[in-house]
A and B are shown apart, each in its own frame.
Chain A
Amino acid sequence: MAKKKDVKVNINYDFCKKCEICVRICPTNVFALRSDGYPEVVHEEECIDCGLCQTHCPDFAVWIQHNEEEIEHPMWDYLRRENQPSVWCPGCGIGIIFQSLLRQIKVQGIPKDKIAFVSGIGCTGRMPGYADFNTIHTTHGRALAFATGIKLANPELKVIAVLGDGDGLAIGGNHLIHAARRNIDITAILVNNFNYGMTGGQVSPTTPEDSYTTTSPYGQLEPFFDTAKLAIGAGANFVGRATTYHVPIMDKLIKEALSTKGFSLVEVLSHCPTYYGRLNHIPSPFDMLNWQKKMVTRKDEEGKYKIGVLHKGDRVSLTERIEELKKRAKNGK
């Protein structure tokens, strides 16, 4: 492969957590690992500007610079930088999803003041704290209930909710199906890392059968929820699934979700190297990305997660219906 462009590869060592994803994901070995565990750019001339290191860095630490203006990470202006580095473990998939979301917000040019970014509790729940929007970290499982109030009170706000798998499907399962049923204008991103990370890797409603967590030490006995089917069945207008490996698909889905009227849900299969990975013998973040490749399909294959756009509906959103109702009520109808 030939070098495409004259680019500079940057590493922000204040943000880097030594997860090694950039070193291992780079197809042309631009990076090497230093003895202190940090990555180092050793063969910049080999860079083909594929962007994998940048999009898969969970900590906004690596970016490819194309001109003199790009002296900071492209998402720099969207971060509350004083709160970095984040609480997430080195190599955690949440940061990759976070970056994808910010990228799509930037691409669509949604003003920061107009975004209400809502989360529940858990590792994923910490995401809004790092984003320079109107942000609220609510209670466990209830992000969509708060988001519903926010959207109804001020329909001009672009309301985005991030949910974890335990957060969105166990304790918050009721709110998820009702938000989908109402078809309210909210974009929900469900980060499914197959376990409860924040509390120490316990079993969740999405833990695959027979896999290990700290509360399924003999393997999970229960079947797992198919998040997408649940949301489709409940009435969501847009449902898609990606993984932290398949960033271009995730980008596309989030972009489409953000421009959907009505309820949109993007499930992202994520990786938790600290618990799920370690307990199931895939401990390195990079190995977990590869593991995801094998788990998914773009067709209908038994035993695999289907990724891509899974559903598009055209039901009128609740937000539109309420505005119409106000007009009727004022005219006494």
Chain B
Amino acid sequence: MKIELYQGNEAVAYGALRAGVSFYGGYPITPSSEIAEIMARELPKRDGVFIQMEDEISSLAACIGARIAGRKSMTATSGPGFSLMQEHVGYAAMAEVPVVIVDAMRGGPSTGLPTRTSQGDIMQARWGTHGDHAVVALMPSTVEEAFYLTIDAVNISERLRLPAVVLTDEILSHMREKVVVDREVEIWEREPEIKKGERYFPFDDDNVYGTGIIPFGKGQRYHITGLVHRKDGFPSNDPEVAKKNLDRFKKKIEDNIDLLTDIEFYNTDDAEVLYVGVGTAARAVKEVVDVLRKRGIKIGLFRPKIVWPFPGHELKKFDGKVSHVIVPELNQGQLVQEVERHFKTSMVSRLNRYDGELFTFDELLNGTLNIIKS
């Protein structure tokens, strides 16, 4: 067993390298900058390419360009940069180009609290760019998870040809924990095989997911656009084509919901009270669960590691089985809006902190007891 003591940002960078990322285009921003620094140092040694672009817009653009030219690509940023990247999150979704974006969340809006933590970008990760689109977002809770979920993000984005977002936060980015780095992982790599004389349709329904893409320069001279397009990639205004185009995005999520469901169930089997928590906010929750269990309260934690698509199909099984659902978040209540719609009978409450600090144990404990008592 090989163990490293990694900082969250290191775990993300080394996870990406393990997943085969060989291009990084980025722009410095607290608290994500160490990821760029590590990539700048490590990529050239491994035949990879690092470039610091002129802003976050061009960073993601360069990553998409590099992926089309054959390299797995990643960028990392924080809220203000993630806002700028939204233009190309949409482009990657529309053009179905795999790319990974790490958003080390900090307090917002705007410049906000650069050196403090937050989970304020949960909704932005899902709906930050305009239009209906497919996107996947993963939320690690520990440094080791940051390592392996980054690998998952690369694999998922490659497999489903969509942008994948890893949502870390300032605390996770800068904390150090033990990481077992040599666990077995599958690295997903595939390119469609085109028989001689056959034409490649990169946007054909047989090519929605599980096929990979053929990069530029390999003899398939196809077209990519951010416009609504036909299966050959050329733009169209036909309503039927437009619907089909958008249906593809929905289908790639719906058809792969098992692949996109990754949940930690912590003491949920007999739970009467259920936390739904994600990322670093869920860390203290576990401790509270342990203490309340000792006091005889049947409480558990439902923790999606993949937050988008939100695993409503799993969560709604708890409707009626638990009396209370509590959603602790480091924002004014984003995930709770998604949680609420999956419960018809159980009562959903929220616990929020948005001053840049993590929940304390007492705060969670007392907040929970108040909710249960009422």
B367 within 8 A of A: no
With a cutoff of 8 Å between Cβ atoms, the chain A residues found around residue B235 in the complex are 129, 137
Residue contact A175 to B71, C-beta cutoff 8 Å: no
Residue contact A326 to B47, C-beta cutoff 8 Å: yes
With a cutoff of 8 Å between Cβ atoms, the chain B residues found around residue A118 in the complex are 65
Q: Which of A68-76, A153-161, A263-271 contacts B (4 or more CB under 8 A)?
A: A153-161
- A153-B23, A174-B55, A326-B44 given; A134·B66 CB < 8 A: no
Residue contact B69 to A145, C-beta cutoff 8 Å: no
A113-139 interface bits toward B, Cβ cutoff 8 Å, 1 = contact, 0 = none: 110101000000000110011111111
Residue contact B64 to A137, C-beta cutoff 8 Å: no
Q: Name the one of A134, A175, A326 contacting B54, with C-beta atoms under 8 angstroms.
A: A175
Q: Name the one of A145, A174, A328 contacting B65, with C-beta atoms under 8 angstroms.
A: A145
B62 within 8 A of A: yes
Interface residues in A319-333 by Cβ distance below 8 A to B read: 322, 325-326, 328-330
Shortest B220–chain A CB gap in Å is: 8
- Which among A128, A149, A330 has the greatest number of chain B C-beta atoms within 10 A? A149
Please name the residue on chain A nearest to B225 by beta carbon: A137
Complex CA distance for A152 and B26, rounded to whole angstroms: 14
Shortest B42–chain A CB gap in Å is: 9
Residue contact A147 to B223, C-beta cutoff 8 Å: no
With a cutoff of 8 Å between Cβ atoms, the chain A residues found around residue B315 in the complex are none
Complex CA distance for A112 and B216, rounded to whole angstroms: 11
A17 within 8 A of B: no
Q: Name the one of A135, A139, A146, A325 contacting B221, with C-beta atoms under 8 angstroms.
A: A135
A150 within 8 A of B: yes
With a cutoff of 8 Å between Cβ atoms, the chain A residues found around residue B68 in the complex are 116, 136, 146, 149-150, 153
B371 within 8 A of A: no
With a cutoff of 8 Å between Cβ atoms, the chain A residues found around residue B65 in the complex are 118, 136, 145-150, 153
With a cutoff of 8 Å between Cβ atoms, the chain A residues found around residue B70 in the complex are 153-154
- A128-B223, A129-B225 given; A154·B54 CB < 8 A: no
Complex CA distance for A229 and B219, rounded to whole angstroms: 38
Shortest A140–chain B CB gap in Å is: 9
With a cutoff of 8 Å between Cβ atoms, the chain B residues found around residue A157 in the complex are 69, 216-217
A83 within 8 A of B: yes
A178 within 8 A of B: yes
Residue contact B223 to A136, C-beta cutoff 8 Å: yes
With a cutoff of 8 Å between Cβ atoms, the chain B residues found around residue A148 in the complex are 25, 51, 53, 58, 61-62, 65
- A116-B217, A139-B88, A152-B49 given; A178·B62 CB < 8 A: no
Complex CA distance for A148 and B59, rounded to whole angstroms: 10
Residue contact B61 to A156, C-beta cutoff 8 Å: no
A296-331 interface bits toward B, Cβ cutoff 8 Å, 1 = contact, 0 = none: 000000000000000000000000001001101110
With a cutoff of 8 Å between Cβ atoms, the chain A residues found around residue B215 in the complex are 154
Q: Name the one of A80, A116, A133, A145 contacting B57, with C-beta atoms under 8 angstroms.
A: A145
Please name the residue on chain B nearest to A125 by beta carbon: B225
B218 within 8 A of A: yes
Chain A interface residue number, banded: 35 or more
Residue contact B217 to A149, C-beta cutoff 8 Å: no
Complex CA distance for A29 and B73, rounded to whole angstroms: 57
A241 within 8 A of B: no
Complex CA distance for A49 and B361, rounded to whole angstroms: 87
Please name the residue on chain B nearest to A132 by beta carbon: B221
A142 within 8 A of B: yes
With a cutoff of 8 Å between Cβ atoms, the chain A residues found around residue B210 in the complex are none
Interface residues in B93-126 by Cβ distance below 8 A to A read: 95
Q: Name the one of B73, B222, B227 contacting A149, with C-beta atoms under 8 angstroms.
A: B73
Interface residues in A20-39 by Cβ distance below 8 A to B read: none
With a cutoff of 8 Å between Cβ atoms, the chain A residues found around residue B216 in the complex are 116, 134, 136, 150, 154, 157
Complex CA distance for A175 and B56, rounded to whole angstroms: 11
Complex CA distance for A112 and B73, rounded to whole angstroms: 25
Complex CA distance for A151 and B51, rounded to whole angstroms: 12
B224 within 8 A of A: yes
Shortest A132–chain B CB gap in Å is: 6
Residue contact A149 to B45, C-beta cutoff 8 Å: no
Shortest A122–chain B CB gap in Å is: 13
Which residue numbers of B lie inside 8 Å of A, CB to CB? 23, 25, 44-45, 47, 49, 51, 53-55, 57-58, 61-71, 73, 87-88, 91, 95, 215-219, 221-227, 234-235
Which residue numbers of A lie inside 8 Å of B, CB to CB? 80, 83, 112-114, 116, 118, 128-129, 132-139, 142, 145-154, 156-157, 174-175, 178, 322, 325-326, 328-330
25 A-B residue pairings within 8 Å (CB atoms) = A80-B223, A112-B221, A113-B221, A132-B221, A134-B217, A135-B223, A136-B216, A137-B227, A142-B88, A145-B54, A146-B62, A148-B53, A149-B65, A149-B69, A152-B49, A153-B68, A154-B69, A154-B70, A154-B216, A157-B217, A174-B54, A178-B54, A328-B44, A329-B44, A330-B45
